[in-house]
Structure 1
Amino acid sequence: MCGRFTFDIPPELLVGIFGLAEAPVTTPRFNIAPTQIVPVIRQYADGQNHLDHLRWGLIPSWAQDVSIGSKMINARSETVTEKPAFKRAVRYRRCVVPSSGFYEWLTEGKVKTPWYIRLKDGSPMVFAGLWETWKSPEGDVESFTILTTAANGLVEPLHGRMPVMLSGDGLLTWLDRNTTNPAGLVHLFKPYPVDLMEMWPVSSMVNNVRNDSAELVVSLRGDPTLEIGRDMASRRGKHYGID
């Protein structure tokens, strides 16, 4: 599953990857947790991609209250076309969730150690997501979920699931509003290549959602401090063909 992730992506890189009309205003985040408001990318009816801020944890339109959202932070890609909460969203309400990386925990006896997982070249990860609108007396609530698939060989020792990650034509296909047949999306639900990813153990400070700083993603192995600065924009874009 994916229950915690980070977002530290320069606005100009978001523009380059997703073809946004203008650079969005964003804030670096290093400990995003369920029910929080998160940047996601959606394609509007005019065919233009937009960055919006949605609540993490999908609330179906038929839900009685928002509490169900905390149980729907992830959706299994293998059954997403069958579940009532997701089967229409996978046709008509798809989104992607840009991320710098995500956390999983290694359990050894009674000890759980958090690990940080990212792409080797530092480029953004792009998670496949679904979104929904829930109407309340106070106004509409837009929320999303992250699709998961079987873990690859890197992540599997930590957890049996990992986010569905998109790139290239797969990213374009997922965002394309003209694609409404789920059968044309199934090929995207495969584990991401192991050789493009890396991970390392990090501080247990990430266990507390109130902690949110670049210190959370620094390796405990004694490696040089991970460079998180905005000056990494050019290097991060190489994975998506952006210089």
Structure 2
Amino acid sequence: MCARFALTATPDQTASFLDMVAVEDFPPRYNIAPTQPILMTMSGVAPAVGSNLPNRQPLLVRWGLIPAWVKDVRKFPLLFNAPSETAIEKASFKAAMRHRRALVPASGFYEWRRTGGRRGQAFWIRPRQGGLIAFAGLMETYAEPGGSEMDTGAILTVTASADIAHIHDRMPVVIATRDFERWLDCQTQEPRDVADLLRPAPADFFEAIPVSDLVNKVANTGPIIQERGVTASAEPKTNGRGRKPGADGGQMTLF
């Protein structure tokens, strides 16, 4: 699964990586959690003939997909991950798989090794060569009963690769840059045409760095949570009002 990830690249680096139109400035985000806003990109209107301008559009969505047919969100589970093996036919995801495939830029993700059924050692899992990666995402616009609309999304997951399986049996699907266009092309590429992209990352693509349990708390949003061997005692002190300095951490708000 993927329940936390990070995006610490600059807006310009992110836009360039995804061949995306410019995005508004945003701070590094070290501990992105479900229900928070995440950046996605989808294919936009085709550029004019001969134009070198990017046509992929940035989109800020709530991490937690809500299908259009849901009547009461309070009774619906939080779908922040979508199992790739069943997404093509599952009611919650099949419309988005056909019409609204997306890319989610990331610097890496976090996973926990479970011990005795409990969340144990935390790991920061990043590309061995550094840089950005793109998770396979799905987007759905949900119309609330009051008439307002909210863009929501999920990250597709797959069986973990050999270098991750000792930590967790699932991992996010990573789309290679050469496959961006095919994944995003919902006009000519049906879900069955891109099913081959829903596979684990190559062996040794990622490195897993053991980190402290600081990452367990959403309020901890600084780079310290990615440091190897940091102990929980290094957690920042509160500012006297019961909040840690920078507790909002630039995580952004959607509501």
- Asked if TM exceeds 0.5, the reply is yes
Which ranges in structure 1 are unaligned for 5 or more consecutive residues?
223-243
Look up the match of 2:177.
168
Could you tell me which of 108, 130, 140 is aligned with 2:138? 130
Q: Partners in 2 of 1:161 and 1:118 — Cα distance?
A: 15
Look up the match of 2:127.
119
Q: Partners in 2 of 1:83 and 1:130 — Cα distance?
A: 13
1:68/1:3 CA distance change after superposition, 3 Å: farther
After superposing the two structures, state which structure 1 stretch, 179-188 or 113-122, moved more: 179-188
Look up the match of 2:92.
85
Structure with greater Cα Rg: 2
Matched to 2:150, the amino acid is V
User: Is residue 227 of structure 2 the alignment partner of residue 218 of structure 1?
Assistant: yes
Which ranges in structure 2 are unaligned for 5 or more consecutive residues?
48-54, 232-255
What CA deviation, in whole Å up to 9, does each residue of 1:18-40 have, x standing for no partner? 22232532221111111111111
Q: Partners in 2 of 1:67 and 1:50 — Cα distance?
A: 30
Look up the match of 1:142.
151
- Check conservation: 2:128, 2:207, Cα contact below 8 A: yes
Q: Partners in 2 of 1:135 and 1:210 — Cα distance?
A: 30
Q: The residue matched to 1:195 in structure 2 has which SS?
A: coil
1:67/1:157 CA distance change after superposition, 3 Å: farther
Look up the match of 2:203.
194
- Check conservation: 1:92, 1:180, Cα contact below 8 A: no
Structure 1 segments (4+ residues) deviating >6 Å:
none
Deviation at 1:221, TM superposition (A): 8.0
Deviation at 1:198, TM superposition (A): 0.4
- Check conservation: 1:56, 1:69, Cα contact below 8 A: no
| TM-score of the two chains, using structure 2 as the length reference | 0.82
Could you tell me which of 131, 155, 167 is aligned with 2:164? 155
Deviation at 1:123, TM superposition (A): 1.2
Q: Partners in 2 of 1:38 and 1:210 — Cα distance?
A: 16
Over the matched positions of the two proteins, sequence identity in percent amounts to 36
Q: Partners in 2 of 1:209 and 1:174 — Cα distance?
A: 31
Structure with the bigger percentage of helix: 1
- Residues 1-243 of structure 1: matches in 2 within 5 Å? 1-46=1-46, 48-67=55-74, 70-109=77-116, 112-136=120-144, 137=146, 139-220=148-229
1:210/1:20 CA distance change after superposition, 3 Å: same
